[in-house]
Amino acid sequence: MGPAELVQAAAMARRFYLEGKSKIQIAEEFGVSRFKVARVLETALERDLVRIEIRVPAELDAERSDALRAHYGLRHAVVVESPAEGADESPDPENLGEVAADLLGELVDEGDVLGLAWGRSTIHMAAALDRLPPCTVVQLTGVYDAGTAERGSVEAVRRAAQVSGGEAHPIYAPMLLPDPATAAALRHQTGIARAFEYFDKVTVACVSIGSWEPGISTVHDMLSDEERAHYASLGVAAEMSAHLFDTHGRRVGRDLGERCITVEADRLRRIPEVVAIAGGPRKAEAIAAVLRSGLVTSLVTDTAAADLLLSAAPNPRPALERADPDDQGIASGR
């Protein structure tokens, strides 16, 4: 390009990229066709006269995020950098909760009903919340240990409601009960029943995912050795809100739900936006299983888990279809 061409190309690029003028407007100003303008702008990019830089915060991996969203048919996928040290040992790095808190700030609108399930990652998320529009907040599961309620999901619900200025509907009950009769009786208690009434009104939910191993699944840790072995024999690969899944995303061990205080899977599937927060390579297989279940629409994870998720075969039933793998005629175990 000669000097005149360079000057003209720079002027056109300024009009287009900085001043927001259309190619037709630029063509009229310079007395050329809009096709000429398009060629000049393309040449300006090729000759490095114009540089386009896309910048996101350093902790976010935009390329992996977009790839993961497309790979599993998610509405939103946000991938953050894994911790420099201990990535293999640390499930759900705390920075996932911080990013998830920002995501909820985008997704929740005034008047929504926000549901929070028990999980370390959701607790970290609630602690990091600093903005939410006015909304009602309801607890979707009982607590891991009623004695730790103040540091767990009850406090997470209170914190979210405090930030939003809305109502809080916590559940003061353990997640897992000794038998179905005790669980059924608790569900009819006034406070718990009131929270359950809101389940069908939830518009945005936040859940955690656990893999079937000690310290990575609260349900696994609450069961006896005999019970763990039983559910392992059914092929359980993941747990979310006391629901168990095999690697194909099919629910197994449904009898466990009869002993639990938790939102039912069918209700969870009807919630318009369900955000899962889970990361670390030890959880990758479990995350993939839950994504295949059709219960989750969005995911916040880290690069360590994302790389393993992207190496898996694409999900044949995208999450946005909310398809139930059990409807494909394959029976799951009890």
Please give the single-letter amino acid code of residue 200: D
Q: Tell me what pLDDT residue 148 has.
A: 44
- Residue 182 token pair: 């005790």
Q: Which of helix, strand or coil describes residue 35?
A: helix
DSSP state, residue 304: H
First-to-last alpha carbon distance for the chain, in angstroms, is 72
196-240 per-position pLDDT tens digit: 999 999 999 999 999 988 877 878 888 888 999 999 999 999 999
Longest Cα separation, the chain: 85
Cα torsion angle, 20, 26, 29, 30, sign:
positive
293-319 per-position pLDDT tens digit: 999 999 999 999 999 999 987 766 677
Q: How buried is 193 (Cβ within 10 angstroms: 0-12 exposed, 13-18 middle, 19+ buried)? A: exposed
240 φ, ψ (degrees, to nearest 5)? -145, 120
Q: Tell me what pLDDT residue 146 has.
A: 43
Q: What is the mean pLDDT of residues 50-79?
A: 82
Residues 6+ apart with CB under 8 A from 31: none
Q: What is the mean pLDDT of residues 87-114?
A: 83
Please give the single-letter amino acid code of residue 74: L
151-176 per-position pLDDT tens digit: 577 889 999 999 999 999 999 988 99
Residue 247 pLDDT exceeds 70: yes
Q: Tell me what pLDDT residue 119 has.
A: 84
Tokens 């705390």 belong to which residue?
Answer: 94
Given a contact cutoff of 8 angstroms between Cβ atoms, the answer to whether 272 and 203 are in contact is yes
- Residue 56 token pair: 């996101």
pLDDT range class, residue 85, cuts 50, 70, 90? low
